[in-house]
Amino acid sequence: MFLFGRQPAILLALFLPISAQTPGAVQPVTQPGTLAPAGNDEATFSTEVKVVNILATVRTKSGQLVNDLTKDDFSLAENKRPENIRYFSRESDLPLTIGLLVDTSLSQGKVLEAERSASFDFVDQVLREGKDQVFITQFDMAVMLRQKPTSHRRDLEESLPYVDTPSNNDLQAQRGGGTLLFDAVVKASREIMSGLGNRKALIIMSDGGDNGSDETLQSAIEAAQRADTLIYSILFADPTYYGGFGSSEGRNAMQRLAKDTGGSFFEVSKKQSIGQIFGVIEQELRSQYNLGFVSDQPVRISEFRTLQLTVKRRDLVVEARDRYWAQR
């Protein structure tokens, strides 16, 4: 059971199973599967080989999404050794597993209502009842599952209002740290995401500050990587809480969580609202490429292996994870 306390920051996740019968669907990383011939967007599977799956987003240098590339536009290497891309698929509208983690510690008090409102709108636009699922987890001084995975909007609409900053009684009873961001990422990755066999992403809304976690930034990143989970981090801070200045350490943490897992980093500002950012994330998640390969190097010990995915066009930029967990 994913219950570690009772307060803030939410981890809201949408689960959409990827079926081998869905056109263009592919096996998740390191899951058994045999691929259809390269160049065929329809993948079929057996249980004889381990397929490593890479989700990638491609943009122009000005930031525009590019979703008309083919397999031949990509090159892939594992531990600096070229690998053959065995299959290729555009993920335009396949099911998603999305986790939304919202920081509700005291430093987020003035932005929490905007976080909740954007979460309502995001769920309303993204959730396809009967197909997608969402769970909600809060964290600040503790980590707590507010809503178990559900595909019903009504369940989520009833749960989200309870996502709030600590009460006075909670603060008086507090023991230990006050913003368990890294603990929340690790627990969500290990205890929820790792058991799923579909596309997965966490969306974090926070100022990036961590106070009291047993886990570290590195262990949080590695937990997400092992669970084949992308992280989209949204820096949403109340600068007045820190005397008019944000936390550079928090910003760096949010940037690393996104970059090292193959996701994207965003910052709420006057030019880009949190609602607009959610719109970009929704479009990006449904515009990904899914590439798969079978390593030509046997897995003798479980280890992280580096990945390098590039495109041949120099005017484009690829966002994808740069390593994966090879399980023996």
Confidence of residue 39 (pLDDT cuts 50, 70, 90): low
Quickly state the pLDDT bin for 213 (edges 50, 70, 90). very high
Q: pLDDT band at residue 1, thresholds of 50, 70 and 90?
A: very low
pLDDT in tens, 282-309: 888 888 999 999 999 999 999 999 999 9
Both structure tokens of 270: 């006057």
For residue 233, the model assigns a pLDDT of: 96
Burial class (CB in 10 A: 0-12, 13-18, 19+), 140: buried
pLDDT at residue number 217: 97
Of residues 160 and 231, the one with the higher pLDDT is 231
CB atoms near residue 93 (< 10 Å):
11
The alpha carbon of 74 is separated from its chain's Cα centroid by a whole number of angstroms, namely 23
Burial letters 279-288, b for 16+ CB under 10 A, else e: eebbebbbbb
Confidence of residue 135 (pLDDT cuts 50, 70, 90): confident
| Residue ranges of domains in the chain, CATH in brackets | 10-17+95-263 (3.40.50.410), 31-93+287-326 (no CATH)
Is 244's pLDDT higher than 60? no
92 Cβ contact list (under 8 Å, min separation 6): 24, 67, 286, 287
- For residues 271 and 18, the model is more confident at 271
Distance, CA of 203 to CA of 231 (rounded, Å): 6
Question: Which segments of the chain does DSSP mark as H helices, in order?
Answer: 112-126, 153-159, 168-172, 181-191, 217-226, 248-259, 274-285
Cβ proximity of 91 and 24 under 8 Å: yes
| Cα pseudo-dihedral 288, 290, 295, 298, rounded to 10 | 90
pLDDT of residue 46: 37
Q: What percent of the chain has pLDDT over 90?
A: 43
pLDDT digits (tens, 9 = 90+) for 103-112: 888 888 888 8
Of the pLDDT bands very low, low, confident and very high (cuts 50, 70, 90), residue 79 is very high
- When computed from its CA atoms, the radius of gyration of the chain, rounded to whole angstroms, is 19
| Mean local confidence (pLDDT), 239-260 | 81
Task: Indicate if the pLDDT at residue 16 is higher than 50.
Answer: no
pLDDT digits (tens, 9 = 90+) for 174-202: 555 578 999 999 999 999 889 887 788 89
186: left (phi over 0), alpha (psi -120 to 50) or beta: alpha
Give the model's confidence band at 243: pLDDT under 50 very low, under 70 low, under 90 confident, else very high: low
Residue 45 pLDDT greater than 50, yes or no? no
Find where tokens 């698929």 sit: 89
Mean per-residue pLDDT, 126-142? 83
pLDDT at 175: 55
pLDDT number for residue 169: 58
pLDDT at residue 127, as a whole number: 83
Confidence label for 242 from pLDDT (cuts 50, 70 and 90)? low
Per-residue pLDDT, 36: 44
Mean pLDDT score of the chain, rounded to an integer? 81
